[in-house]
Structure 1
Amino acid sequence: MKRRSRTSKSMSDDEHRQLPKYSIGVVSQLVGIPPQTLRRYEEAGLLDPARQDGKNRLYSDENLAILQEIAELADQGVNAIGIRHILQMRQQVIHLEQEVNEVRTRLLHIQHTEYVLDVSNEDQEQS
């Protein structure tokens, strides 16, 4: 029997973190949060787990990390609205940091290109 060759590439780390794979019961045990509380967090818009056939919730590693943040903030007395704002601000900070890094990379590239052009022009003038 021949095996089919797989043409699909392997998943990136980011794709693997976003892959839904844990049921609500497993997540409840892993994070130490009752299933009812997990459902309330979803109702409050704090996270959005995937749905299996439109029914069962499936959580990813990324969802677990968010749930741990939510639990820490809740333990500090932050309510659901405050938690949502904090999570949104953290995402905005991450996005802005990525933009800053992209701009820095572009700037370094431009500076390098300008330097190469300057050196090339100086060489041509000396010839």
Structure 2
Amino acid sequence: MNEDAPLFAIAVAAELAEMHPQTLRQYDRLGLVSPSRTAGKSRRYSLRDVMQLREIARLGSEGITLEGIRRILELENVNQQLASRIRELESALADELLNRPGRRVFAAGTAGDVVSLKSGMRAQRRTEIVVWRGLTQ
């Protein structure tokens, strides 16, 4: 079952979240949970929305304000998006490494830029010593 599928009417979602339907409407107005809408503009909640409503109730019972809860949920959503993006990039990198073994090697240049090296080559290291003296007054 898809967690993001808009399945539940407000009465069912309220019952699943153990809240009053008016509370769900308030959370929607505040932007804490934004359910999908049907063509007739009625709210449809997904399983993810219901889980988020339960998380709001848990955080509220711990004494966190609605603004604090909104910020926590926002950060959790950003964190989840970033984790998903990392998984996508790791998968793309793994595919690239399988398709082109040994073709690309990179190192960091002196200015922080990316330098491409041939396979088997090592980056040149600078060995000179630099003495720095601060301004004396």
- Give the match for residue 8 of structure 1: none
- Give the match for residue 113 of structure 2: none
Which stretch of structure 1 is more off in the superposition, 106-115 or 69-78? 106-115
Residue 55 (structure 1) shift:
4.0
1:100 to 82, 86, 91: 86
Q: What is the number of residues matched between the two proteins? A: 104
Which stretch of structure 1 is more off in the superposition, 80-89 or 51-60? 51-60
Q: Against the structure 1 CA distance between its residues 114 and 33, is the aligned structure 2 distance closer, same or farther, given a 3 Å change threshold?
A: same
* Contact 2:17–2:54 (CA under 8 A) maintained in structure 1: yes
Q: Rg bigger for which structure? A: 2
Q: Against the structure 1 CA distance between its residues 38 and 108, is the aligned structure 2 distance closer, same or farther, given a 3 Å change threshold?
A: same
- Give the match for residue 10 of structure 1: none
Residue 110 (structure 1) shift:
4.1
1: distance between equivalents of 2:50 and 2:69?
A: 15
Paired-residue identity, %: 32
* Contact 2:3–2:48 (CA under 8 A) maintained in structure 1: yes
- Give the match for residue 66 of structure 1: 52
1:91 to 58, 77, 83: 77
- Give the match for residue 27 of structure 2: 41
Q: Against the structure 1 CA distance between its residues 108 and 20, is the aligned structure 2 distance closer, same or farther, given a 3 Å change threshold?
A: closer
Q: 5+ residue gaps in structure 1? A: 1-12, 122-127
1: distance between equivalents of 2:85 and 2:3?
A: 22
- Give the match for residue 56 of structure 1: 42
The answer on 1:76 being equivalent to 2:62 is yes
* Paired residue secondary structure (1:33): coil
- CA deviation map 1:39-82 (0-9, x unaligned): 11111111111233434322111211111111111111111111
2: distance between equivalents of 1:101 and 1:18?
A: 19
For the aligned residues, what is the CA RMSD? 2.4
- Give the match for residue 114 of structure 1: 101
* Contact 2:17–2:51 (CA under 8 A) maintained in structure 1: no
Residue 103 (structure 1) shift:
2.7
**Aligned residue identity for 1:79:** T
